[in-house]
Chain A
Amino acid sequence: MRAGDARAAESGGEPLLEFREVSKRYGEFLLDRVSFSLPRGYICGLVGPNGAGKTTIVKLLLNLVDRDAGRIEVAGLDPAEHETAVKARIGFVHEVPTFYEHLSLEAIGDIVGSFYTAWDEALFASLLVEFDLPPRVRFGTLSRGMRTKGALALALAHRAELLVLDEPTAGLDPVFRRALLERLAGYVSDGRASVLLSTHITSDLERIADFVTYVRAGRVVLSATRDELAERWAIVRGGPALLEGEARALLSGWERAPHGVTALTFDAPGLRRRLAGHEGVVERATLEDIMFYTGRSC
């Protein structure tokens, strides 16, 4: 049994976060009937190219934008109807952390903390030390990476049930980035909390995400566990005959080269059966492969 299965059993199978057919239009851009769910005790990676709709999903969750259709639930509560109760459960890091620039992190902590009943002052102080952040320096003078670390400290210090992080690793040095990912993995390990991590850095998700939801041009292309992805999606390399046989129906986003074809399959077991005895190599697909080849097929 995977560690995650034990966490799922503890959570009783109820999703902590659920999006059902959520739509939002911004001028020309349409976030179209987005659905995915995240059980307690897991990390869900929200991945997609720039402008895919990841930040809009995060904003919808925080009720910062008004949705046009669909249902969102956090611990069974709709953020639009139970704004305070839902936001008290969420720790957030926005893509561009904007706090009061003329205040220090210590002062911002005092202000932000006053709104959370579960705020832990000692934990916040220890996080500032751990993240090597100066508590009394003006927020506006901090680097992008330090601002993100500060936002993380604020998000973690009220022991949120759901951490919502929008591109948190952009601007972080590799050492802290890895430390952050380890911390996030540790944060969900007791099955109490979950993390929704929006990013376009796929290697981060391959390291820690239990679930992956891939968004492209406002639509969910796939939403699956990391194990399902590894099982079902694969890269296949073979000769030009690959595109002529019945295996072609299982391929997408193929790339022709002088000596053969490379393509993505969404049914690796089925493809392996069809290719039995024929030329072709099926390899594990990375998230980047999936993003690249599904992008080509659009």
Chain B
Amino acid sequence: MLRKLFLKDARLNPHLFWGVIPFFAWVAYALREDGAPVGMLTVVSGVMGAATAATVAAREDRFHATALLASLPVPRETLVLSRYLLAAVAGAACFLGAAALAALLPWSSHALGSIFDPRTVVMALVIAGSSVAVMLPMALRFGLVGVVAFFAVLQVAGVVLFFIASMFGLRQPMRLVFGSVEAGLRALHASFADAGASALALAVLAGALWLSYRLSVWLTTRRDL
């Protein structure tokens, strides 16, 4: 059943698969520079791939084809599971695609050890996994509107933060925010040098994904189509 759902998604969303070509062209271009941030490129690729599942779910809703899909002999729980598996497969494929470019392109000078640095792999899993855990329930329950609303909420939160910071006389508050995020990500990346911290992060991620999956199943089975 899951294979059929995968094939269906592949057939319905060919542009998503073709759409990664320009992205990987950009990755290849970025890798030409000395000291290119290969970790960042592979992590972003993984996140982009994983987000495909939310896009596919949103497109299903846009075609008003959710009722059609739910009328076929497929349990709704399996539909939800297929989206999470799609996120895992597409995320892994994009991560490996970017890693393969970094390893094989003649102008890329990155060693395999730095490309497949365990800290970077864990980082990719944590960021892509947590993005999926937040986005997929929204996309499955509210479709395209859910995905757009998710980013709109982030946008509004940014603006509110900006005004609050301005009220307290902070100059360039966004720089502070982005700087804090960057510093946090760097600290997180560094902490994954410790195997215990990595194991804990992966355990928390697994729990978050399980909760997200159960929430998605609950929302989807109660959604009136």
Chain A positions near chain B (C-beta within 8 angstroms): 26, 59, 62-66, 83-85, 87-88, 90, 92, 94, 96, 98-101, 103, 107, 110-112, 114-116
Contact = CB atoms under 8 A, between A and B. Distances in A.
A99 B7 CA distance: 16
A101 B63 contact: yes
B94 to A, nearest CB: 24
A64 B8 contact: no
Interchain residue pairs A-B with the least CB separation, the first 4 = A87-B73, A88-B73, A65-B224, A64-B225
Given A66-B221, A94-B67, A114-B4, A107 B11 contact: yes
A116 B225 CA distance: 21
A158 to B, nearest CB: 9
Contacts of B65: 98-100
Nearest to B64: A98
A84 B75 contact: yes
Contacts of B225: 59, 64-65
A66 B12 contact: no
Contacts of A111: 8, 11-12
B214 interface: no
B7 A66 contact: no
B74 interface: yes
Contact of B224 (A64, A90, A114, A115): A64
Most chain A beta-carbon contacts within 10 A, residue among B8, B65, B68, B221:
B68
B213 to A, nearest CB: 18
A87 B72 contact: yes
B27 to A, nearest CB: 29
Interface of B: 4, 7-8, 11-12, 63-65, 67-68, 70-76, 221-222, 224-225
Given A94-B68, A103-B12, A111-B11, A66 B74 contact: no
A90 B4 CA distance: 19
B222 A64 contact: no
A130 B29 CA distance: 55
Contacts of B71: 62, 64, 87, 90, 92, 94
A83 B69 CA distance: 13
A100 B73 contact: no
B8 to A, nearest CB: 5
Nearest to B74: A115
A97 to B, nearest CB: 8
B68 A116 contact: no
A277 to B, nearest CB: 56
Given A83-B73, A100-B63, A103-B12, 10 more contacts: A62-B70, A62-B71, A87-B74, A94-B67, A94-B71, A98-B65, A103-B11, A110-B11, A112-B72, A115-B4
Given A64-B225, A100-B12, A103-B12, A84 B73 contact: yes
Nearest to A82: B75
Contacts of B63: 98-101
B220 to A, nearest CB: 11
A83 B76 contact: yes
A62 B70 CA distance: 8
A99 B222 contact: no
A83 B70 CA distance: 10
Nearest to B70: A64
A116 B73 contact: yes
14 contacts: A59-B225, A62-B71, A84-B74, A84-B75, A87-B71, A87-B72, A92-B71, A98-B64, A99-B63, A99-B68, A100-B12, A100-B65, A103-B12, A116-B73
Given A64-B225, A66-B221, A100-B12, A115 B72 contact: yes
Contacts of B64: 96, 98
Nearest to B3: A114
Contacts of B76: 83
A77 to B, nearest CB: 12
Contacts of A94: 67-68, 71
Contacts of B12: 100, 103, 111
Nearest to B5: A115
Contact of B73 (A65, A98, A103, A115): A115
Nearest to A112: B72
A62 B225 CA distance: 10
Contacts of B221: 66
Contacts of B68: 94, 98-99
